[in-house]
Amino acid sequence: MAVVATPGRKAGWSLLNLLVIVYALIPVLWIASLSFKPTSSVTDGNFIPRELTLDNYAGIFATSQFTRALINSIGIAIIATALAVTIGTMAAYAIARLNFPGKKLLIGVSLMIAMFPQISLVSPLFEIERAVGLFDTWPGLILPYITFSLPLAIYTLSAFFREIPWELEKAAKMDGATPAQAFRSVIVPLAAPGVVTSAILVFIFCWNDFLFAISLTSTEASRTVPAAISNFTGSSQFEEPTGSIAAAAMVITIPIILFVLFFQRRIVAGLTSGAVKG
Partner 1 sequence: MAEIVLDAVTKRFPDGALAVSEVDVAIDDGEFVILVGPSGCGKSTTLNMIAGLEDITSGELRIGGERVNERAPKDRDIAMVFQSYALYPHMTVRENMAFPLKLSKVDRATIAAKVDEAATVLDLTQHLDRRPANLSGGQRQRVAMGRAIVRSPSAFLMDEPLSNLDAKLRVQMRTEVSRIQKRLATTTVYVTHDQTEAMTLGDRVVVMRGGVVQQVGAPQHLYDHPANLFVAGFIGSPSMNFMPGTLAEGALQTALGRVSLPDRIRSALESAGAPSEVIVGLRPEHFEDVALVEESKRAAGTTFPAQAEVLESMGSDKYVYFSLSGDRASSTELEELAADAGTAELPSGGNQLTTRLSAASTAAEGEKIDIWFDAAQVQVFDPSSGRNLTA
Interacting residues toward partner 1 by CB under 8 A: 165, 167-168, 170-178, 181, 185-186, 189-190, 270-277
State the Cα–Cα distance between residues 218 and 154, nearest whole angstrom. 31
Q: Where would I find the H helices in 116-266?
A: 119-132, 138-163, 166-174, 179-182, 188-190, 192-208, 211-215, 225-230, 242-264
C-alpha span between 233 and 229 (Å, rounded):
9
The least CB distance from residue 91 to partner 1, in Å, is: 23
Smallest separation (angstroms) from partner 1 to the CB of 177: 5
Least distance to partner 1, CB of residue 97, Å = 14
Q: Determine the Cα–Cα distance for residues 200 and 181; give it in Å rounded to an integer.
A: 26
- For residue 90, the minimal CB distance to partner 1 (Å) is 20
Nearer of residues 4 and 174 to partner 1, judged by Cβ: 174
Residue nearer to partner 1 on the CB measure, 190 or 229:
190
Q: Given the complex with partner 1, which of 54 and 276 has the nearer CB atom?
A: 276
C-beta of residue 105 within 8 angstroms of C-beta of residue 191: no
Q: How far does CA 122 lie from the centroid of its chain?
A: 20
| Shorter beta-carbon distance to partner 1: residue 24 or 269 | 269
Query: In the complex, what is the shortest distance from the CB of residue 178 to partner 1, in angstroms, rounded to a whole number?
Result: 7
Dist. CA 208–CA 186, nearest whole Å: 34
Judged by beta carbon, residue 8 or residue 274, the one nearer partner 1 is 274
